[in-house]
A and B are shown apart, each in its own frame.
Chain A
Amino acid sequence: MKIEVNHLTKTFGKETALKQLSLELSNQKIIGLLGQNGAGKTTLLRLLAGHFLPSSGEIKISDQPVFDNYTITKDICLIQESNNFYQKFKVGEILKLSAIFYPNWNADEANQLLEVFKLKKKQKVHALSKGMLSALGIIVGIASHAPLTIFDEPYIGLDASARSTFYDLLLASYQEDPRMIILSTHLIDEVSKLFEEVVILHKGELLLQEQADELAAKHQLVSGSKQAVDQAIAGKNVIYQSELLGKKSAIIFDDQVEVTPELTVSRASLQELFVYLTKEEATQIGYSN
């Protein structure tokens, strides 16, 4: 599976959702797509799935355009946060339709997943709770075995234990049949360990694309006495700093400090990196402290 996105722009009226975005994703791996609300994640994922045309630029999947092209869209399964299924269908009918649409559909797996999530084939979509609808989305996404499977915030209404079950199932199914899985989520702490590659969008542009391991190697969380830390980080690319009780911590990104015995160097979590790379400072809007 190979995705090539070149100078992709998508506008909705006066709003620009994606600005000249270029990105390449390849091979079978689990990719985390992160970004604030409004960063353009859902727009990108829907363009990848061929839901609509870009305003300019191009998308190619396996060297082919994706819009209105069943030879490619049959290999793509996008599960969105909501409105994945027609209200009037029954769960069993959704599964039958999916089996027709997706060539790699695994009916046995789908039936097992129904049991895991305690869904019945005769239940109607419009009668399902939010959590059950999410579960149905997850079942279709996993059982589709689509070479490109995309989950865009798939678990609205799912409790923590059902989400953990989803991660287990996703990993198990991925290990049996490695495929490209893109997972877009705000619950970064929960899923960061699942990612092999991380893509961060910010204001419609690509902020970062990195192997998860390399992202860990690309930053340092430096702590120690205020003086030692200040000396070490002077002139470095500091994305976060905070001090208390004469001690200071700072995160250096895309840069290295000289490690001295007075300093402790460790790693920040993906969630912390994401927050510090993208957030607006409260002080910028006029709060003094």
Chain B
Amino acid sequence: MTERLKEDQPIFIQIAELIETSIVEETYLAHDQVPSTNEFAKHYQINPATAAKGTNLLVDQGILYKKRGVGMFVTDQAKTIIMKKRQERFYDYFVLPLVEEARMIQLPKEQLFKWIEEELNDED
């Protein structure tokens, strides 16, 4: 989680997304403790209240749970919730800009499909 924070997006949302990504990548598994708001504050030089807002967002969505006086932990269903959420926005975030750019530079449809297929096969 050493990515840099961007200027053009609220910081608490970026904190929440960094945690989400590390859960999907399985750096953090169910019932693992995630870094404390103080650790986030220190690492990113941000106000601890901002970091807390990010983790609280994930508590509201059922991705993290609080143990009083101990910290924040990953819930059982966290990964499922995050993947569902990210799949829902995949079209807007990735497909639309991809197609828009492809159309602008008149990239042949066949080429686009071929590349995607190649990449998908590469993963196996």
- Given A171-B41, A175-B38, A175-B41, A213-B46 contact (CB < 8 Å): no
- Specify which of B9, B38, B46, B53 is in contact with A194 (CB 8 Å cutoff): B46
A269–B47 contact, CB under 8 A? Answer: no
* Distance between Cα atoms of A266 and B8 in the complex (Å): 6
In the complex, whether A107 has a CB less than 8 A from a CB of chain B is: no
B45–A29 contact, CB under 8 A? Answer: no
Residue of chain B at shortest CB distance from A194: B47
A 131-169 binary contact with B (CB < 8 Å = 1; else 0)? 000000000000000000000000000000000100110
A217 partner residues in chain B, CB cutoff 8 A: 10
- Given A168-B45, A172-B42, A193-B9 contact (CB < 8 Å): no
In the complex, whether B75 has a CB less than 8 A from a CB of chain A is: no
* Distance between Cα atoms of A221 and B5 in the complex (Å): 18
* Distance between Cα atoms of A266 and B13 in the complex (Å): 13
Count residues of A near B (Cβ-Cβ below 8 Å): 22
* Distance between Cα atoms of A154 and B9 in the complex (Å): 29
- Specify which of A29, A193, A267 is in contact with B44 (CB 8 Å cutoff): A193
Within 8 A of A (CB), among B24-56: 38, 41-42, 44-50, 53
- Chain B interface, >50% SS class: helix
B10–A193 contact, CB under 8 A? Answer: no
A213–B53 contact, CB under 8 A? Answer: yes
B38–A193 contact, CB under 8 A? Answer: no
Interface contacts (Cβ under 8 Å), in number, total 49
B 6-18 binary contact with A (CB < 8 Å = 1; else 0)? 0111111000000
In the complex, whether A216 has a CB less than 8 A from a CB of chain B is: yes
A212–B38 contact, CB under 8 A? Answer: no
- Chain A interface, >50% SS class: helix
A193–B8 contact, CB under 8 A? Answer: no
* Distance between Cα atoms of A175 and B49 in the complex (Å): 10
* Distance between Cα atoms of A41 and B41 in the complex (Å): 27
Residue of chain B at shortest CB distance from A171: B41
Write the nearest CB–CB distance from B53 to chain A, whole angstroms. Answer: 7
* Distance between Cα atoms of A216 and B8 in the complex (Å): 9
B8–A213 contact, CB under 8 A? Answer: no
A195–B47 contact, CB under 8 A? Answer: yes
B50–A171 contact, CB under 8 A? Answer: no
B38–A29 contact, CB under 8 A? Answer: no
In the complex, whether A200 has a CB less than 8 A from a CB of chain B is: no
A212 partner residues in chain B, CB cutoff 8 A: 47, 50
* Distance between Cα atoms of A172 and B10 in the complex (Å): 22
**Residues of B with Cβ closer than 8 Å to A?**
5, 7-12, 38, 41-42, 44-50, 53
A-B contacts, 6 listed (Cβ < 8 Å) = A30-B47, A168-B42, A168-B45, A171-B42, A175-B48, A221-B8
